[in-house]
Each structure stands twice: as structure tokens, then as C-alpha cells.
């Protein structure tokens, strides 16, 4: 028996209603802010990710699914969406001439990581990317939009962490101070950090090793080396969040795992998912567009890990997916008439979820199926009903008398009978 690839999950019919509901809520919030969807391929040239995410990052060093296609080109399954979005934006001239874009995408991402709860090799993100807006007002909008989503999903308890990475120049100055400090404490560095010390020392601040925590906490702070403009930008952002009544924690060690960020970075974290506690992460990447060959354009965005978000809100989502009605058809004549009747019902009530029994069988076996389907009512069409132009209506979840309804008024009658899960509604 061939199994799915480790870390890549099937999403089964029992789960897809929850996914659809979650996705619909997210789309709803994005629409409230005027964001528009963009779709790009799941495979890109490897170079795109190397040049944007950075050579010395977890993703590029060890997580990418890279392969040679039949032409000998090096291609990679997208590990994230920002680089793809910027590539598409440049290629189709969406970003030049100071254009303002508010975009979003949703779909699978691929990283070769060690699979565990909240960490998969194929996982799903919804990402938001904006272009052409350089101010902290946009950063605040992104954060408020994510906060609205949590609210809409009934999710509380997420903590917002923010930080500023300043400009590349400011980080270069800070980098020297940090390396000097870490060199003084070389004996306390773990293997990963020793390696990072030469190549990407800021990433050491992000270390998930608890034994590194004290060392990192006492390290010089990037905030002390910020350029004036970045400092001002960050202070304004904090003011805007205060004015909106949004609580946040300034985390000076928040540096994010990708190279393209500058100035604002943020994460929404929870302690309810163990080590995989970051649900949403984002920030500003003002130099990326130019770095990938476009005209310089400020940019900022975030990405949400949908598996982690769903794990937090699943119980609150109440997707309506069970059929309202199950049509039981006994006998040849009923089979022919039943299909037509079902079409008429669907014409009259587009919101009606009606399953027609296929494949014949005894009344008893069909009725069992009706019950198992989760439907609220069984509609019964047998020889008698066909002859009389009626349908039997049996309530499967309520203790109510069976009814005989004339086929001509059945659609209308069902509307009344199914009030508890209104057809017109969800
Ligand atoms: P982590 O520190 O957990 O590895 P990251 O910094 O690599 O996260 P990003 O690249 O910022 O993650 O991706 C944004 C979000 O996507 C994460 O906050 C998380 O919710 C989700 N995510 C990232 N990698 C995975 C994965 N392998 N499986 C499931 N979700 C993931
Ligand atoms: Mg990661």
C-alpha cells in the first residue's frame, strides 16, 4: 500500500468543512479591507528563493524541495509566498510607478522539516502583501486586520510581539557589536549558533534553544542602534496601536527567519500549541522588490499558518455541511420521478442540500443511509406517493409525526420544516 509522503496530509471530507469555513472567514475580513487575491504557481525557479529569503536561512539551507526538471532547470516547490508574489508583481508591472497594491494569496507551501504537531512538510498559508506604502499607518493596518480576524474567529489569547529591524546599515553596525559580545561568550554557544556567528549572527537571537536564552537576553539590543527614521517609524506604529487599543509586547529579540525584512516585524504567538506557537508572522520588506529586479517599492505583509490557526479555532467553527434532506426512492417509477423532483427542489431552493439515493435497495436499507447521512429529514417516494403525486416526509432528528406533502408545494413546505437549520442561511 502506497502511503502519502511523510509530513504531507490529506484533508478528509470530515475536515474540509472546517477548512472551508475558516477560509471563508479569512476572505471576508480581507474583503473588508479592500485586499485582492493573487494566485501564482507552486513551483518557481530556485534562484528566486535563494535571492530573496537569503542563502544563510533555515529555509534555503535545509528546507527547500529543490529538483531539476527535464530541461535541467533548478526548480523549487514554494516554501513561502512573498518571493513569488513579488516576482509576479514585477513581471506583470503591478508594482512600478508608485502603484499601491493590497494583495493576498492562499495555498500550500513546502518545507522539508521534521514533521510534528503544527509543523508539516506541506502546510497552508494565507499571506497578505502590500506594495507602495512606506508608512507605519500601513503596518498598523496589517496588524489591525489580523486582530480583526482573531476576533471574528472568536480566538483570544494570542499575544502580539513587535520589533524594528531598522535599515540594513543600522543592522550592519549592530551586527558587529553583537558578534563581539557573542565571541566573548563563545563557550556558551550551541553548534547552530557557532555556525551562525559567522554567517548570520542576528538569527542567533531567534534561537529556540532554552539554554541560549539568558545569553541572548543579555546581548546588546538592536533598538539601541536603530537609525532615526526607523526609530520614528516604530514609535509612530506603537502610537497607532495604542490609539486603536491594541495590546502588544516589544520583543527586542524578534528578528524573523528570513533575510528580506527591514523595520517593522511582528508575530502573533500562543502558548497553546507547544513549541509551534507562532500563528502569524510578518513585517516590512522595503528592499525586496528592488533586490528582485523591480523599481524600488516599499512593501509589507504577513503570513498565517492555517494548520496552526485551525487547531486553535476548530471547536468554535460550526460549519453547516450535513445534508438537509435525503430522498429515498423505492421502485422503478419513483427512481425516474425522484431525479426530476430533486432537480425541481434544487431549482426552487438553491440553498437546499439534498442527497438523492442512488443504486436502489429496500426501503429499510435506504432509510439507514438517510439516517447515517446526518440529514434532518428523509423524503420518501414510493409507489403510493408516485401514484398520488405526494412525498412522505419523516423527521430523522426530532420526535415529530410523519407528514404527507403534495409534490407541488414540497419546496415551500421544506422551508418551514427545516427552520432549525434555515436553508436560506448558511
Ligand atoms: P517557525 O519559527 O515556526 O519555523 P517560520 O518563521 O519558519 O516559523 P514563516 O516562514 O514566518 O514561519 O511562516 C509564517 C507562518 O507559517 C508561521 O508562523 C507558521 O504559522 C506557519 N508555518 C511555517 N512553517 C510551517 C510548517 N512547517 N508547518 C506548519 N506551519 C508552518
Ligand atoms: Mg521555520
Residue 198: pLDDT band by 50, 70, 90 thresholds? confident
| pLDDT tens sequence across 146-180 | 999 999 999 999 999 999 999 999 999 999 999 99
Q: How far is ligand 1, taken at its centre, from the CA of residue 364, in Å?
A: 50
In this prediction, residue 183 carries a pLDDT of 94
Contact status, residue 99 vs residue 92, Cβ threshold 8 Å = no
Contact status, residue 253 vs residue 205, Cβ threshold 8 Å = yes
Q: What is the rounded average pLDDT of the residues 294-320?
A: 95
Query: In Å, how far from its chain's centre is CA 329?
Result: 42
* Helix or strand holding residue 266 (H, E): strand 262-269
From the list 300, 228, 215, 311, the residue with the least C-alpha distance to 265 is: 300
203: Cβ below 6 Å to ligand 1?
no
Which protein residue has the closest C-alpha to ligand 1 atom 29? 119
The answer to whether residue 419 scores a pLDDT higher than 80 is no
50: Cβ below 6 Å to ligand 1?
no
Which ligand approaches the C-alpha of residue 208 most closely? Answer: 1
| pLDDT tens sequence across 110-126 | 999 999 999 999 999 99
- Per-chain mean pLDDT for the chain: 94
Share of the chain above pLDDT 70, in %: 98
Residue 423: pLDDT band by 50, 70, 90 thresholds? low
Sign, Cα dihedral of 139, 142, 143, 148: positive
Which protein residue has the closest C-alpha to ligand 1 atom 17? 305
The answer to whether residue 400 scores a pLDDT higher than 70 is yes
φ, ψ for residue 287 (rounded to 5)?
-100, -5
Residue 256: pLDDT band by 50, 70, 90 thresholds? confident
Around Cβ 424, how many Cβ atoms within 10 Å? 11
Distance CA 279, CA 307 (A): 9
Ligand 1 nearest-atom number relative to CA 309? 20
| Residue 212 CB contacts under 8 Å (≥ 6 apart), including other chains | 188, 189, 190, 193, 204
The answer to whether residue 320 scores a pLDDT higher than 90 is no
Q: Residue 392 has which C-alpha cell?
A: 412522505
**Out of 62-66, 185-189, 238-242, least confident range:** 185-189
Which protein residue has the closest C-alpha to ligand 1 atom 6? 257
Distance CA 254, CA 265 (A): 7
Which protein residue has the closest C-alpha to ligand 1 atom 9? 281
Share of the chain above pLDDT 90, in %: 86
Distance CA 301, CA 283 (A): 6
Buried b / exposed e over 351-379, threshold 16 CB at 10 Å, is: ebbbbbbeeeeeeeebbebbeebebbbbb
Residue 211: pLDDT band by 50, 70, 90 thresholds? confident
Distance CA 189, CA 320 (A): 52
143 — alpha (psi -120 to 50), left (phi > 0) or beta? alpha
From the list 422, 416, 378, 423, the residue with the least C-alpha distance to 397 is: 378
Distance CA 369, CA 330 (A): 13
| pLDDT tens sequence across 372-388 | 999 999 999 999 999 99
Q: Residue 87 has which C-alpha cell?
A: 516576482
Which ligand approaches the C-alpha of residue 113 most closely? Answer: 1
Domains of the chain: 16-166+226-316 (3.30.930.10), 325-417 (3.40.50.800)
| pLDDT tens sequence across 31-81 | 999 999 999 999 999 999 999 998 888 899 899 999 999 999 999 999 999
422 — alpha (psi -120 to 50), left (phi > 0) or beta? beta
**What pTM was estimated for this model as a whole?**
0.93
Q: What is the rounded average pLDDT of the residues 227-243?
A: 97
Q: What is the rounded average pLDDT of the residues 168-196?
A: 92
Amino acid at each position: 500500500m502506497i502511503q502519502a509522503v511523510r509530513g504531507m496530509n490529506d484533508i478528509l471530507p470530515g475536515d474540509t468543512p472546517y477548512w472551508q469555513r475558516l477560509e471563508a472567514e479569512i476572505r471576508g475580513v480581507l474583503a473588508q479591507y479592500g485586499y485582492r487575491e493573487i494566485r501564482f504557481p507552486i513551483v518557481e525557479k530556485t534562484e528566486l528563493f535563494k535571492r530573496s529569503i537569503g542563502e544563510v536561512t533555515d529555509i534555503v539551507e535545509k528546507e527547500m524541495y529543490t529538483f531539476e526538471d527535464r530541461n535541467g532547470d533548478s526548480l523549487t516547490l514554494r516554501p513561502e509566498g512573498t518571493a513569488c508574489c513579488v516576482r509576479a508583481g514585477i513581471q506583470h508591472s503591478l508594482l512600478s510607478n508608485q502603484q499601491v497594491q493590497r494583495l493576498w494569496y492562499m495555498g500550500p507551501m513546502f518545507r522539508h522539516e521534521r514533521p510534528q504537531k503544527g509543523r508539516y512538510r506541506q502546510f497552508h498559508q494565507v499571506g497578505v502583501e502590500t506594495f507602495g506604502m512606506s508608512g507605519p499607518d500601513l503596518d498598523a493596518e496589517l496588524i489591525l486586520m489580523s486582530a480583526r480576524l482573531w476576533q471574528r474567529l472568536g480566538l483570544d489569547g494570542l499575544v502580539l510581539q513587535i520589533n524594528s529591524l531598522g535599515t540594513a546599515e543600522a543592522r550592519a553596525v549592530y551586527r558587529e557589536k553583537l558578534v563581539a559580545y557573542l565571541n566573548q561568550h563563545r563557550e556558551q554557544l550551541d553548534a547552530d549558533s557557532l555556525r551562525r556567528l559567522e554567517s548570520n549572527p542576528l538569527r542567533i537571537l531567534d534561537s529556540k534553544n532554552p539554554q541560549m536564552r539568558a545569553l541572548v537576553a543579555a546581548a546588546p539590543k538592536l533598538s539601541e542602534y536603530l537609525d532615526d527614521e526607523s526609530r520614528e517609524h516604530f514609535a509612530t506604529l506603537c502610537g497607532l496601536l495604542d490609539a486603536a487599543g491594541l495590546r502588544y509586547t516589544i520583543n527586542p529579540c524578534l528578528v524573523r527567519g528570513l533575510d528580506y525584512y527591514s523595520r517593522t516585524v511582528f508575530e502573533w504567538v500562543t502558548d497553546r500549541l507547544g513549541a509551534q506557537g507562532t500563528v502569524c508572522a510578518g513585517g516590512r520588506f522595503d528592499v525586496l522588490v528592488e533586490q528582485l529586479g523591480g523599481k524600488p517599492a516599499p512593501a509589507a505583509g504577513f503570513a498565517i499558518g492555517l494548520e496552526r490557526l485551525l487547531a486553535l479555532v476548530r471547536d468554535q467553527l460550526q460549519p453547516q455541511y450535513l445534508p438537509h434532506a435525503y430522498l429515498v426512492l423505492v421502485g422503478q417509477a419513483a427512481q425516474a420521478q425522484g431525479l426530476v423532483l430533486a432537480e425541481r427542489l434544487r431549482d426552487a431552493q438553491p440553498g437546499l442540500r439534498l442527497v438523492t439515493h442512488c443504486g436502489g435497495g429496500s426501503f429499510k436499507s435506504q432509510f439507514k443511509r438517510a439516517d447515517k447521512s446526518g440529514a434532518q429529514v428523509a423524503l420518501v417516494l414510493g409507489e403510493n406517493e408516485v401514484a398520488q403525486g405526494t412525498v412522505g416526509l419523516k423527521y430523522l432528528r426530532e420526535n415529530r409525526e410523519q407528514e404527507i406533502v403534495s409534490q407541488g408545494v414540497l419546496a415551500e413546505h421544506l422551508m418551514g420544516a427545516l427552520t432549525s437549520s434555515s436553508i436560506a442561511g448558511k
